[in-house]
Amino acid sequence: MPDQNGASNGARELTYAEALREGLRQIMAQDERVFLIGEDVGVYGGAFGVSAGLRDEFGGERVIDTPISEAGIAGACIGSALTGMRPVGEIQFMDFITISMEQLVLQAAKIRFMFGGKATVPMVLRTPAGSGTGAAAQHSESLENWFVHVPGLKVVMPSSPYDAKGLLLSAIQDDNPVIFVEHKLLYRTKGNVPEEMYTIPLSQANVVRKGEHLTVVATSIMVRRALEAADILAQEGIEIEIIDPRTLMPLDEKPIIESVKKTGKAMVVHEAVKTGGYGGEIVSRIVESEAFGYLEAPVRRLAGLDIPIPYNRTLEVNTVPQVQSIVDEARKLVNGQY
């Protein structure tokens, strides 16, 4: 069996998008209840090519192109899930998930609770998020924390091809609604992905890199940037430990707490805006735990600026954390320059 970092004998390299597609193909072949629905997921193969070829393989009744109606996509997923199907919906850009908030927040998230567990909503809503493609303010947002705030929803953010496949398969098999957030810049990144079907539990953080001087909790694309920063810092004798929560809700906080107890310093890195962002939750978990007594410095948040994502490429890059900003902040923390 592969480990949680994707290491496995005979593992192949796939892109993040290919890993998602393989996971979808395998579970659709295994379980007739699984189907895809969304704008351009069929004939076009998805806005970022994730579902390419699946309509040819499984037909138009299981890979369904919809009108431009995010509320309709979410509603169809909820209704079909209640009747025994396992839908995988796609919202083309996370920004447009706002149109489906009533269906997700007032219906999908609450039905199982309100019916005492007699009804379940086993649906996955996939959505590309994040900046870096020059898509401007209405196509570049990271809204994951909106859904973390809603009891009844699970929120997943894979950062690697290995995690993308394993977490997607777990999400589809889960009996609760899952918001599955994919970063647009990750689709072409490559990594080891075993051919067999495998799952990653939806509440299992991953210690991506071991270190002793600083704990860095990073999500999505920021995991890759933190790893690049770690290589730079290692040349200066600074070893940072990087933890990827993978599932934001429910959160596996134990590895984070144990790491902070070891390093005595912590920083959270995410792309979404700082105010009301997920970093605040991680900071609270740390300071409310036994790790608080081990802290040697304030816990830092490195996040997006509190502005809409600009269209101008230079401004866009400077709106969200980059490798160098992670290096600079980590160096300050480790060297006591906070």
Q: What is the pLDDT of residue 214?
A: 98
Measured in Å, how far apart are the chain's first and last C-alpha atoms? 43
Q: Could you give the CA distance from residue 25 to residue 38 in angstroms, rounded to a whole number?
A: 16
The secondary structure of 46-86 as a DSSP string is -TTSTTTTHHHHH-TTTEEE--S-HHHHHHHHHHHHHTT-E
Read off the pLDDT of residues 153-200 as tens digits, 9 standing for 90 and up. Answer: 999 999 999 999 999 999 999 999 999 999 999 999 999 999 999 999
What residues act catalytically?
70, 139
Listed by start position, the domains of the chain span 12-193, 206-333
Q: What's 179-239 look like in SS3?
A: EEEEEHHHCCCEEEECCCCCCCCCCCCEEEECCCCEEEEECCHHHHHHHHHHHHHHCCCCC
Burial of 327 (0-12, 13-18, 19+ CB in 10 A): buried
| CA-closest candidate to residue 220, choices 121, 94, 311, 31 | 94
Its sign, for the CA torsion 125, 246, 155, 85, is positive
pLDDT of residue 8: 47
Q: Tokens 């076009």 map to which residue? A: 44
Average pLDDT over residues 58-77: 98
Tell me if 12-193 shares its fold with 206-333.
yes
Cα(203)–Cα(194) distance, integer angstroms: 21
The CATH classification of domain 206-333, taken from the options 3.30.70.1560, 2.40.50.90, 3.40.50.920, 3.90.1660.10? 3.40.50.920
Distance CA 10, CA 3 (A): 13
Q: Cα torsion at 269, 47, 77, 4 (round to 10°)? A: -40
Q: List, as one string, the DSSP characters of 145-183.
A: HHHHTSTT-EEE---SHHHHHHHHHHHHHSSS-EEEEEE
Mean pLDDT of the chain: 96
Query: Which pLDDT band holds residue 15 (cuts at 50, 70, 90)?
Result: very high
| Helix or strand run (H / E) with residue 261 | helix 254-263
pTM above 0.85, yes or no: yes
Average pLDDT over residues 68-73: 97
Query: What's the rounded Cα separation, in Å, for the pair 34 and 15?
Result: 23
**Which one-letter DSSP state was computed for residue 274?**
S
Task: Kindly indicate the confidence band of residue 338, based on its pLDDT and cuts at 50, 70 and 90.
Answer: confident
In the chain, the percentage of residues whose pLDDT exceeds 70 is: 97
Are the CB atoms for 218 and 312 separated by under 8 Å? Answer: no
The answer to whether the CB of 20 falls within 8 A of the CB of 163 is no
Q: Residues 47, 128: contact at Cβ < 8 Å?
A: yes
Distance, in Å, from the CA atom of 3 to the CA atom of 188, rounded to the nearest integer, reads 22
Angle (CA) 155-161-165 rounded to 5° is 60
CATH topology of domain 12-193: Rossmann fold (3.40.50)
In 27-45, which positions are buried (b, 16+ CB within 10 angstroms) versus exposed (e)?
A: bbeeeebbbbbbbebbeeb
Q: Is the pLDDT of residue 10 over 60?
A: no
Respond yes or no on whether the N-terminal peptide bond of residue 310 is cis (omega within 30° of 0): no
Give how far the C-alpha of residue 330 lies from the chain's centroid of Cα atoms, to the nearest Å: 23
- Write out pLDDT tens, residues 91-148: 999 999 999 999 999 999 999 999 999 999 999 999 999 999 999 999 999 999 999 9
